Structure 1
Amino acid sequence: MSTQTVNLGTVFRGSKEGKIVQGDGVDRTVEPTDVVISITHSGLCGTDLHYLKKPNMVLGHEGVGIITEVGSQVKHRKVGERVGYGYIRNSCGMCLDCLDGYDTSCKEGVAYGAADLDQASFADRIVIPESFVHVIPDSISLADAAPLQCAGATVFGAIFEAEVSSFDRVGVIGIGGLGHLAIQVVAAMGCDVVVFSGTKSKEEEARKLGASEFHAVKENPELKGVKPVDVLIVSTSGHPDYDLYFRTLSRRSKVISLTVSQDKLAVPNMALLAKQVRVQGSYVARRAVHRRMLDFFGSHPKARPMIELLPMTPEGLNKAVERLEKGDVRYRFVLESQTNKEDELVQKAKSSQK
């Protein structure tokens, strides 16, 4: 039996200088249950910045595109489908975490940046097991779908796992790549959305996204007069002043931290005990929740990431990185392939099936 292989085409890697450089992709074996995705769009995430100086690593993890090949035993996906995939690209399938549906906790999981460094979403193609691939609803453009594969999944996954109810008052700290999506999700759920930001500069935008209240912390440094919130979503790049924000929490409330930081998390212990607060960290969404996330955005057309398109070229990628490092983006960059075009790929797939 012949082995099915595919070349990954043009790829974009890190370098010792921290610049993204263009290179040639490797030949990749397509296992019987794998699919080949021709990448049309990829989001740029803050996590990507951690790997810029890895010269042998292909970058990017918010990839979407069109299936252009399938392995010999693929049963559920087909050529021509619009798909994306999550931060975790494979797992053992046999450990207790996997059997419980928590593939994101699998110790043998293939996660971006930790394994399988020859392929990622800043590339022409990627090879993924069909069970880790998700169909993009027709109501979501591929450009909008790209940031949902990490940012959207992270936010929605945290909200889902915390069992947020439509009756909850939900606070959101930070209006950035994650925060602007969190506001939209909980607003679409019917929650009262209370947004906390440093100044009033983003108030109008926050209200358009769905905020029912807005509090500029620098103008009200003790947050006086804020009605208690039942859930607090922390989407800032660094830990906030929890001594301050615990004052805004109701009893038996939940704090969901999405902050990626090596710093220790310090919370006021007596307030934690007296109010019986549950502090919950959140990783990327497991597959079942990732699929629910796409269905949610598919049925809520007003909830979409705010994106800026740039070409998936060395110039476009490095410009996006430079601006992201400066915080000069509202709110997600999406890199658009200059070789893979959705309409052309879909038409080619249809022609091949005749």
Structure 2
Amino acid sequence: MVYQGVTYRGSPSGQIVESSFTRESLEADEVVIKVTHSGVCGSELHFLRTGVVLGHEGVGVVQEVGSACERVKVGDRVGWGFNHTSCGYCDHCLSGPSEDQYCKNAKMFGWDSNDQGSFSTLSVRKEEWLFVIPDGLSSENAAPLMCAGATVFTPLIDYVKPIDRVGIVGIGGLGHLAIQFAAKMGCDVVVFSSSESKREEALALGASEFYATKGVTNLADLGMKKPVKYLLLANSGSTNLGIYYPLLDEHAKILLTTYATGDLVTSHPEMTFRGLSIIGTKIGSRYIVYVVVYRSF
């Protein structure tokens, strides 16, 4: 059987262009999905001038399954994110439920299977990184959880406790989910945005404090009630970490969840004498995506 779909790719001009893909056969561990919903992640911008089919927060309905598939069946609603496959036998795959996204043999959006983004009418994907969507969760709400939700939930669940004071910078695709997760965990959530217009939204999502930073050259002038123990950066292009030091408590951790080109700028003495840490995090493991999906409704 031939499998065909309409896709939407990046191009050298930066315009999104319509194209198509054709698959002549279905492998035993693959699943054919009619795509119904897709999130839009900020990292799409990194691939906008390539030929990659965009989109990696997909949800759709299973149309056909390969002979070796065991977890999904025709008619299931499933979602998928950034990773396509992982090897299952390297140290990262075997070290625990929250590390297989770091598999050195992983195949992922933007580097592999470049005709299988979620900006498409049809997708053919490996069963292993598909997630069945529960009935209580709508497809439009499930799609952003596949990448954005899992990405911010990972450092929150790895490091943060309910008693902690957590700062979140940015209220975009990642930030609006991070605010809700941290608030539901019982954290004292402080939100920073360049725009005063985001205040009502941030407070409605669960923030206890909001500070607009546009035009503020020294963040110490914001007049915060107290510093934060964790600062989750959910904005794009944060490379100068020194600007955030006035927000941080001693021994605080800066959690990097977005991708920016260029080197980070930080102060060695400040990091050392205040005991600060910088922690990077890459999307979410299969376990984390599963937890996010099944605890979000």
Shared topology, TM-score over 0.5?
Answer: yes
TM-score normalized by the length of structure 2:
0.91
Note closer, same or farther for the CA distance 1:241–1:133 as it changes in structure 2 (3 Å cut): same
8 A Cα contact 1:26 1:118, kept in partner: no
Q: 1:6 to 1:293 in 2, by over 3 A?
A: farther
Moved more, 286-295 or 27-36: 27-36
2:107 maps to 110
Tell me by how many angstroms 1:26 deviates: 1.3
Q: 1:93 to 1:150 in 2, by over 3 A?
A: same
Does the aligned pair in 1 maintain the 2:239–2:265 contact within 8 Å? no
In 2: Cα distance, 1:86 partner to 1:72 partner: 23
Deviates most, 204-213 or 260-269: 260-269
1:164 to 136, 144, 160: 160
> Counterpart amino acid of 2:244?
Y
Q: Is contact 1:151-1:178 (8 Å) kept? A: yes
Contact 2:87/2:93 (8 A) holds in 1? yes
User: May I ask how many residue pairs the two structures share in their alignment?
Assistant: 292
Verify: 1:214 aligned to 2:210, yes or no. yes
Q: 2:44 aligns with which of 41, 44, 48?
A: 48
Distance in 1 (CA, whole Å) between partners of 2:64 and 2:258 is 37
Secondary structure of the equivalent of 1:182? helix
Distance of 1:228 and 1:200 partners within structure 2: 20
Q: Could you say if the C-alpha distance between residues 230 and 21 of structure 1 is closer, same or farther in structure 2, counting changes exceeding 3 Å?
A: same
Q: CA–CA distance in 1 between the matches of 2:25 and 2:72? A: 18
Which structure has more relative contact order (CA 8 Å, sep 6+)? It is 1
Give per-residue Cα distances to partners, 1:42-83, cap 9 Å, x unaligned.
11222222222323x322111101111111121121111111
* CA deviations over 1:323-351 (Å, ceiling 9, x no partner): xxxxxxxxxxxxxxxxxxxxxxxxxxxxx
Q: Secondary structure at the match of 1:58?
A: coil
- The answer to whether the 8 Å contact 1:256/1:282 transfers is yes
Aligned residue for 1:235?
234
Alignment of 1:149-188 (within 5 A): 149-161=146-158, 163-188=159-184
Contact 2:5 2:123 in 1 (8 A): no
Offset from partner CA, 1:120-165 (integer Å, 9 cap, x none): 211122122222111112222111111211111111123223x211
Which one-letter code corresponds to 2:148 in the other structure?
A
Deviation at 1:23, TM superposition (A): 2.3
Relative to the length of structure 1, the TM-score reads: 0.77
- Give CA deviations for 1:145-188 in whole Å, capped at 9, x if unaligned: 11211111111123223x21111110011122211111111011
For 1:59 and 1:242, how far apart are their aligned partners in 2? 30
Matched, 1:200 2:202: no
Indicate whether 1:71 and 2:66 are aligned. Answer: yes
Structure 2: 5+ residue runs without aligned partners?
A: none
In 1, Cα distance between the equivalents of 2:198 and 2:185?
22
Whether the 8 Å CA contact 2:219–2:247 is kept in 1: the answer is no
Rounded Cα–Cα distance in structure 2 between residues aligned with 1:50 and 1:285: 19
C-alpha displacement of 1:241: 5.0
User: Residues 283 and 127 from structure 1, CA distance in 2 versus in 1: closer, same or farther, beyond 3 angstroms?
Assistant: same
| Identical positions, percent | 43
Q: Which moved more, 1:81-90 or 1:94-103?
A: 94-103
CA distance in 2, matches of 1:88, 1:51: 15
1:148 matched to 2:135: no
Give deviations 1:99-129, integer Å, cap 9, x for gaps.
2242221222111010111222111221222
Computed over aligned residues only, the root mean square deviation of the Cα atoms, in angstroms, reads: 1.9
For 1:181, give the aligned amino acid: L
Compared with structure 1, are the counterparts of its residues 119 and 184 closer, same or farther at alpha carbon in structure 2 (3 Å cutoff)? same
- Mapping of 1:182-331 within 5 angstroms? 182-217=178-213, 218=215, 221-222=219-220, 223-239=222-238, 241-298=240-297
Displacement of 1:225 in angstroms is: 4.2
Cα contact 2:169–2:191 (8 A) shared by 1: yes
Q: Within 1, Cα distance between the matches of 2:82 and 2:67?
A: 25
